[in-house]
Amino acid sequence: MTGHDLECFIPAEEKGRRLDQFLSSVDKLTLSRSQIKKLIDDGLITVNDRPTEPSYKVKSDDRIKVIIPPPRALTVKPQNIRLDIVYEDNDIIVVNKPKGMVTHPAPGNYDGTLVNALLYHCDHLATLGAPLRPGIVHRLDKDTSGLIVAAKTDAAYASLAKQLKSRTMEKTYIALVHGVIKNDEGVIEARIGRHPVERKKMSVIESRGSRVTSQKSREAFTSYKVINRFSAKGGFASGEKDYTLIEVKIKTGRTHQIRVHMSHIGHPLVGDPTYGGKKGEFELKGQLLHAKKLGFVHPGTGKFVEFETKLPKEMKEVITIIESGGRE
């Protein structure tokens, strides 16, 4: 509910409850406690026509007024942000996205995104898709670096989106994971869905035969190949200083897919505490995952094209530290 006022009266059984707790349970509001706290801080929630605090203990005769402002009109502004352009023509642009850059605007990140930079650099982008994602067909996590293609025309967008849906677009990643992977290669087939408790995370939702658990999930396929193993103890003993550098290919593009799947088999990505890595290891801010290669049929020429980038400096530096037996 937005853009209106609402008055709440206190049922007897709610007497003595914190104001923010009480309001977060009011069905008509559908607001979280953090959203309610912000409204209180902004003076938009009053008790008996007076400003208050989130910790205020409500009384049965209190009259609570909540003013919910109308939603902000969201627009994406061009910003002069440097881009590492790998390829560009009238149909598409391929960019090597740096770690730390968000792909497109979203709550909490409306500036400094790849889309903001593309709007400044390009004369035009495809209009198909979501309004805040012009030209964006696929995305990379904020802390995942590497290749991403954007469409400049609606025809190019439609072509790339079709390839993505039919799983013919080829995406190859390089990742550094914890532990020594014994097999030289492998395939992970495990459905992914929203974590049942931690809603900002994804998780593997197991299938049971042909029947899937009631938790909503989507099929996901990840294949990996070992590039190099680093073991402080020798052999395949999985110790604290053991790591494996792998090449990863994905058929599907689920949210956090590689991070979730590698954690699921006991090899979380280095720098990814969200899915089992160590917080602050090697002074990293985010996982060591790089989209190294991208291949697809060019929307304009109809020919298969492939682009490749070098490993980012940060990943090479961590590998050098591990190879030299250095400490975190």
pLDDT, residue 217, reads: 86
Mean pLDDT of 286-291: 97
Are the C-beta atoms of 193 and 216 separated by less than 8 Å? yes
pLDDT in tens, 168-199: 999 999 999 999 999 999 999 999 998 877 87
Are the C-beta atoms of 300 and 90 separated by less than 8 Å? yes
Domains of the chain, residue spans = 4-68, 74-166, 170-300
User: 135: Cβ–Cβ under 8 A, 6 or more apart, which residues?
Assistant: 93, 115, 118, 122, 125, 126, 129, 150, 151, 152, 157
CATH number for the region 74-166 comes to: 3.30.2350.10
pLDDT, residue 210, reads: 35
| Percent of residues in the chain assigned helix, strand, coil, to nearest 5 | 20, 30, 50
Is 141 a residue of the active site?
Answer: yes
pLDDT in tens, 95-105: 999 999 999 98
Which stretch of 126-130, 145-149, 208-212 has the lowest confidence by average pLDDT? 208-212
Active-site residue (options: 20, 62, 91, 141): 141
Say whether 74-166 and 4-68 share the same fold. no
pLDDT, residue 326, reads: 55
Q: Which residues of 110-138 are buried (b: 16+ CB within 10 A; e: fewer)?
A: beebbbbbbbebbeebbebbeeebbbbbb
CA-based angle 78:80:85, to the nearest 5?
100
At the top level of CATH, which class does the domain 4-68 belong to?
alpha beta
Are the C-beta atoms of 99 and 124 separated by less than 8 Å? no
Residue 9: which pLDDT band, with cuts at 50, 70 and 90?
confident
**Nearest Cα to Cα of residue 135 among 165, 115, 164, 112:** 115
DSSP annotation of 284 reads -
Phi, psi of 179, deg, nearest 5: 85, 160
pLDDT in tens, 109-131: 778 999 999 999 999 999 887 88
The pLDDT of residue 144 is above 50: yes
pLDDT, residue 237, reads: 40
Fold held by 170-300: Pseudouridine synthase (3.30.2350)
